Chain A
Amino acid sequence: MAIMAPGDPGSVSEPGQPTPTLLGPTGGLPAPAGGITGVRSLRRMTRAVTSNRKATVGALLLLFFCLVALFPGVIAHDNPNAEIYPRHLGPSAQHLLGTTAFGQDMFAQLVWGTRPVLLIALLAGFGATIIAMLVGVASAFLGGAWDGVLGLVTDVLLVIPLFPLLIIIASYLHGAGTTVLIAVIILTSWSYTARQVRAQALSLRSRDFLNAARVRGERSLYIIVVEIIPTMTSLLVAAFLTNALYAVLFSASLQFIGLGDPSSTSWGTMLYWAENAEAFQTGQAQWIIAPGLCIVALGAAFALLNYAFDEIGNPALRPARSMRRTSVKRPG
């Protein structure tokens, strides 16, 4: 009960990392009617993204960062790590954001730094969602002792303060490279989604389309993969967005306090070096402002998409104006 409580802005929230519930008490999309196939609900989602302004902005932002991460060389021609320029240069045509205290081109660092951040966000978001799906579905369908054990593990993980735990693990490891960072974030952040998945899987258990599959004599693996998981598409997408958002904030925070890999080029690492070089005191505020803005923009992309899905699932939350418009077109 308390575990599903919305918003504990402290905890998990450490790096501005709001709990999964921040986007409304439902914490994601309500269950779609059973039996909708994955393809159809995906198509519905695409339509929803184009019709909701928050979703459009979020999707465009995400697309933008994906393009930058795929082709950083097209935008920034400098080597982000080469310490070859005069130090502390201000912004100019050659160096759009100036140079760092170590003589690196700041704009190149920002552009090349997109890739690791996005990689961590997507992989950690994906990994956490997959584990949550497996654990959630397994505990709902195996039931009995399995359900008890898996449920207990999930609950315990849910209340242990994750950010301090992450800090301590990273500290024992004396800094975490990208792979370790992803693994640790996945291991510590799947629990909330697992609970949601389990609840939804339980509510499906006695639906007719599942009974029909059982009567047809399908194996349980088939039933789970083909019949059940597709009905959870929207829940899983919402969970992925939330988990990806946390991964961005967690990893940036760990890198900022020097527990990432300080030699990697990433927004969080930029902030770490900027803070160490006292960028404010040397008049290089852009060294701190720019990477932070990028983190906020990427985080906002995930959060806006998620909030938009919440609005789509719960029409009452939509902006009042568009509500009136739709009610004129389609009365009732």
Chain B
Amino acid sequence: MRFVLRRLGFFLLTLWVALTLNFVLPRLMPGNPALAAIANHKGVISPQALKALEAQFGLNTHQNVVAQYFKYLGNTATGNWGESLTTQPGNSVAHMVLDAIPWTLGLVGVTTVLAFVLGTLIGIVGAWRRGGHLDSLMPPVFVIMTVIPYFWMGLILILIFGVKLHWLPYFFTYNITLTPGLNWAFISNVLEHAILPAFTLLITTIGTWILTMRNTMITTLAEDYVRMARAKGLPGHRIMFDYAARNAILPNLTGFAMSLGFVVGGAILIEEVFNYEGVGYLLLQAVNNDDYPLMQALFLLITVAVLLAILLSDIGVALLDPRTRAAS
């Protein structure tokens, strides 16, 4: 219980740091970014939004910084995230963010689970068949795969399967001539649009799962209890899954719990390359348009998702592994 409370305290502290960063960063930058934004987007920003922007960045105000800070904290806590300045002028930021979340959760969430399951399985089999073809090829190939930039992999897949072969669509979340609804035409169109970005993410992330699983599993395979299982004459697949993999999976599982938190902000550049209208795409749109309220809300959302996942994985590990509780 004390362990959980401590982690909860850490969660709140980090949340506060992220909130404060959002507040302090623009005020620390040389030349107030808000001034530049106002100059760049004259005419686009409504007088009303201008006022909000000035309040947010402490321009033309008699309030001191401390009062501004507490007002900002209050607004954030009550879900009052302001309006989009330039991306969709006048639209509520909270609304835009909520619209983007399902697309990212669907694309990145499903792919993350898939990469974890596939990668872990390949790692288990590779370590089990030590010295086989798979195992001797695996480390160098997957080490190299983990350093491929997401966005470049996306571009290459677009070149091959989109531009050259015309097999798959590579722009947008779905064909905008279709009306969204629960019919097969729409759903299949959405799935079609998700294939290439999902595949990009799968290729670039699976290597980490494979290598971590393989390397932990190799260490586990040398344990005495695995030797005893062999001596007892248990069938190979039982030793592989129930004795070795089961004990080797903890690092991968904690990594998985954390990566679920990164799902929300996880594939910014993939979404950008495919114009996939999720959270990451929205963030980059906000960045390109100097849409600071939207940008700040998205950064906060991404941070909260990561923090929640870490908190849950900590609690999960504490429940599963008594040693953690003792250590804290």
Name the interface residues of A144-169: CB closer than 8 Å to any CB of B. Answer: 152, 155-156, 159-161, 163-165, 167-169
**Is A25 a contact of B204 with CB atoms below 8 Å?**
no
A22: nearest chain-B partner, CB-CB: B208
A160-B303, A292-B155 in contact; A5/B251 too (CB < 8 A)? yes
* Interface-facing stretch out of B94-102, B139-147, B229-237: B139-147
Which residues of B have CB within 8 Å of A3? 310
| Least distance between B29 CB and chain A CB atoms (Å) | 4
**Is B272 a contact of A317 with CB atoms below 8 Å?**
no
| Least distance between A247 CB and chain B CB atoms (Å) | 12
Which residues of B have CB within 8 Å of A115? none
Q: Is the interface of A mostly helix, strand, loop or mixed?
A: helix
User: Number of B interface residues, CB 8 Å?
Assistant: 83
Which residues of A have CB within 8 Å of B153? 16
| Least distance between A12 CB and chain B CB atoms (Å) | 8
- Specify which of B159, B259, B266 is in contact with A285 (CB 8 Å cutoff): B159
Interface residues on A, range: 35 or more
B31: nearest chain-A partner, CB-CB: A174
A160 to B304, CA, bound (A): 9
Q: Say whether B276 faces chain A, with CB atoms less than 8 Å apart.
A: no
A151 to B10, CA, bound (A): 12
Which residues of B have CB within 8 Å of A316? 218-219, 222
Which residues of B have CB within 8 Å of A281? 163
A54-B139, A167-B284, A304-B140 in contact; A9/B159 too (CB < 8 A)? no
Q: Which positions in B face A, CB cutoff 8 Å? A: 10, 13-14, 17-18, 21, 25-26, 29-30, 33, 36, 108, 112, 115, 130-131, 135-136, 139-140, 143-144, 146-153, 155-156, 158-159, 163, 204-205, 207-209, 211-212, 215-216, 218-219, 222, 251-252, 254-255, 257-259, 261-263, 265-269, 272, 283-284, 287-288, 290, 295-296, 298-299, 302-303, 306-307, 310, 313-314, 317, 324, 327
Q: Which positions in A face B, CB cutoff 8 Å? A: 1-3, 5-11, 13-16, 18-19, 21-25, 54, 152, 155-156, 159-161, 163-165, 167-169, 171-174, 245, 249, 252-253, 256-259, 271, 275, 280-281, 285, 288-289, 292, 295-296, 299-300, 302-304, 307, 310, 314, 316-317, 319-321
